[in-house]
């Protein structure tokens, strides 16, 4: 009976996590439509040196969500779930402040690299139909990946940091982000985890 209850708890947590992820994207899309300043570009010379490799979209989208959801299997109580979920809500609030008050957009011609010539580019085009060029700084993908890695650190050790590193590379190679977006996202995720630890 105890094991059945645990399985039920995991199923409920997974369902709640999926609802939270879908809900978070509504705030993300809202920010794209409600800037309080004119979006700017933050392109550096190094950004021109980064190649366009659309196959990295599979890392960008397909390992991102499963690893976030994997957190459910290391959470040991409803209280723990609530606290971890609160850390992501805090991160969302901080991201929204940047997106609305300091909007940053990637260059329009970066989207032109995608000619939908194969499966990877067609999938990337699908992602880009939902994900506008704005909401670039700091990288939300990297900030969420860093926060997730820090939650996973006690269970996976330093290998947990492979997750934000891979996500950061995928952000660059799919031309979804500037180089400067990545350390900013990592720092925001790290700071949010520090606030989470201080609170809980």
The pLDDT tens digits of the residues spanning 89-98 come to: 999 999 999 9
Compute the Cα dihedral for 181, 183, 187, 189 and give only its sign. Answer: positive
Task: Quote the pTM value.
Answer: 0.93
Range(s) of the domain holding residue 80 = 2-199
For the chain, the average pLDDT equals: 93
Q: What is the rounded average pLDDT of the residues 172-183?
A: 98
DSSP string, 17-33: HHHHHHHHHHHHHHHHH
| The total number of structural domains that make up the chain | 1
Spatial separation of the C-alpha atoms in residues 89 and 93, rounded to whole Å: 6
Does the pLDDT value for residue 189 go beyond 80?
Answer: yes
């Amino acid at each position: 009976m105890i094991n059945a209850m645990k399985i039920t708890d995991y199923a409920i947590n997974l369902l709640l996590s999926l609802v939270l992820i879908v809900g978070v994207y509504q705030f993300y899309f809202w920010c794209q439509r409600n800037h309080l300043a004119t979006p700017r570009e933050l392109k550096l010379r190094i950004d021109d040196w980064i190649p366009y490799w659309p196959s990295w979209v599979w890392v960008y989208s397909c390992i991102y969500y499963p690893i976030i959801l994997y957190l459910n299997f290391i959470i040991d109580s409803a209280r723990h779930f609530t606290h971890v979920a609160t850390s992501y809500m805090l991160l969302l609030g901080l991201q929204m402040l940047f997106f609305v008050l300091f909007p940053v957009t990637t260059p329009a011609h970066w989207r032109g690299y995608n000619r939908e010539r194969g499966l990877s580019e067609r999938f990337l085009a699908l992602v880009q139909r939902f994900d506008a060029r704005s909401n670039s700084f700091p990288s939300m993908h990297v900030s969420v990946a860093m926060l997730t890695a820090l939650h996973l650190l006690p269970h996976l050790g330093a290998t947990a940091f492979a997750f934000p590193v891979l996500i950061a590379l995928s952000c660059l190679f799919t031309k979804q982000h500037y180089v400067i977006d990545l350390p900013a996202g990592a720092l925001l995720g790290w700071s949010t985890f520090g606030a989470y630890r201080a609170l809980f």
